Structure 1
Amino acid sequence: MKIRPLTIEGAFEITPVQHGDARGRFLEWYRFDALTEAVGHPLDLAQANLSTSARGVVRGIHFADVPPGQAKYVTCVKGAVLDVIVDIRMGSPTFGAWEAVRLDDEDRRAVYLAEGLGHGFCALTEGATVAYLCSSTYRPGHEHGIHPLDPALGISWPVETPELSGKDAVAPTLAEAKASGLLPQYDACVAHVTAKQQ
């Protein structure tokens, strides 16, 4: 398993080693010890989610209040998605930056994103199925979104007309979320992660 940091602090790309023969393939798509060594603390597994999306669906950009936030370990078990991580932490050196990683059922890559980062993806195939391991459970009222088509973010979604949920379609822009105090503070996110490393 190869784990490499992305350009946004707290985000990592994971590439598993696959073993295959005429019968099929086997791989370890998550390793507690390997991830702990890479990020400096274990992923507290509190909830596992699965979503299936039609081609062209864009989900996100979603995030949770910090603390406790919600770290995620995400992979695509069927089809392909373009997974996008956005730094929405106020005061971060890379605030407003985003990075994309293709997740699919061939390379079987995964991404890890720390608490306080925004997350979304675009389904590149019909029936794209994404599995998430989450560090905290869903908490109504503490989960938020940024409009995925916000021109200020400038995310290059690989579809002409992204299909959004009703909730994502009316989500605030990054500037609106900032003005309303919705965004997590970089210092609080760093302190939260540092506390888990002790």
Structure 2
Amino acid sequence: MIGKSIRTPWFAGADAPEVSEKSFISTTATLIGKVVIKDYVLVSPGASLRADEGGEIHVCHNANVQDNVIMHGLKDKRVEIDGEAYSIFIGANSSCAHASIIHGPASVGENTFIGFTAVVHSSQIGNDCFIGHGAKVIGVTIPDGKFVPHGAIITTAAEVAKLTEVPADLKGFNEEVVEVNTDLAKCYLEAYGHMSPTFP
């Protein structure tokens, strides 16, 4: 469901989703408020992107938002990217894998993978990072190229300082995920149109 414009006591205007016609949104996904989806993004079944409290959720080109991902923000809390304020910002060619939670204020850089059921809350993740399945990253900044192991809990600068570079065997993983999901977005667009009630 792509929602209509939403008006709340803390937003002066009423903002509605802005979705590129080159992206595909499942009809069982929910977009509420100012959710900006750029080109060749796949938003999969069950995903929930709610910009009703924290403000704009921005998903850059060739990113993917997989099944049952949740994105939501906090009132009056933002991250700043290139001089603009967002509740959540997802960089180009990044993957938010199945059932991950991105809770703002938060940003994910370019070419970064967020694993299955991982949680990113009040954090900024750099470019070319790999956040493992089930990991929890809360209240920290992760530099470019860092690996958060599966199931790890990272909540302090001291824990961030101990993180290693992404292992060689995982460096191409996100690239493959992005390639597959970008192709799927294009295939679904061709088969169903921008958003079709026949697609689950």
Q: Which TM-score applies when normalising by structure 1? A: 0.35
Considering fraction of residues, name the structure with more strand. 1
Q: Taking CA–CA contacts closer than 8 Å with sequence separation of 6 or more, which of the two structures ends up with the larger relative contact order? A: 1
Q: Which TM-score applies when normalising by structure 2? A: 0.35
